[in-house]
């Protein structure tokens, strides 16, 4: 069983979208015995909150389940628990690299680097850009590449 944790600043936009998208794909592809997914925040400001209202609207539109999803903050034990810890932007990555034990650094990935490990492309936070639908589309488009990578490694 491969365990995946998506991480963004508040866990109410990007990482919540990624979790809902991957959970749906796991269900559709009958991969529940191969991949487990969750999401978390680097900050504490949204802990306990459901996904952002605009995110919920988009997830509803795409018939993706987000029931039971509430923002949580990454904890030290998560670095041992998860095989893949995937950040959405450089700030997330900086925090994750700083907090991670040295033995777990190889578990940390930047979401859009699945195509090119040196690209350093980020997914901007729609909380600030207002581009919720575009953010969803980017995350959704790249997710099959992550699924393939996770299943092969």
Give the residue numbers annotated as catalytic, written as ranges.
Answer: 8, 14, 125
Q: Look at phi and psi of residue 20 and say left if phi exceeds 0, alpha if psi is from -120 to 50, else beta.
A: alpha
CA dihedral 90, 36, 127, 99 (to 10 degrees): -40
Cα–Cα distance list, 115 to 3, 138, 148, 149 (Å): 20, 13, 12, 10
DSSP 133: H
DSSP 100: S
């Amino acid at each position: 069983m491969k365990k995946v944790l998506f991480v963004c600043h508040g866990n109410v936009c990007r990482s919540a979208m990624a979790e809902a998208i991957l959970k749906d794909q796991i269900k559709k592809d009958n991969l529940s015995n191969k991949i487990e997914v969750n999401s978390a925040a680097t900050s504490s400001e949204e802990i306990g909150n459901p996904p952002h209202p605009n995110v919920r609207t988009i997830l509803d539109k795409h018939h993706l389940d987000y029931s039971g999803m509430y923002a949580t903050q990454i904890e030290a034990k998560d670095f041992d628990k998860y095989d893949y810890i995937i950040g959405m932007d450089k700030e997330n990555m900086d925090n994750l690299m700083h907090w991670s034990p040295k033995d777990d650094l190889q578990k940390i990935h930047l979401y859009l680097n699945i195509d090119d490990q040196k690209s350093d492309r980020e997914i901007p936070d729609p909380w600030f850009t207002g581009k919720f639908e575009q953010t969803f589309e980017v995350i959704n488009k790249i997710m099959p590449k992550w699924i393939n990578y996770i299943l092969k490694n």
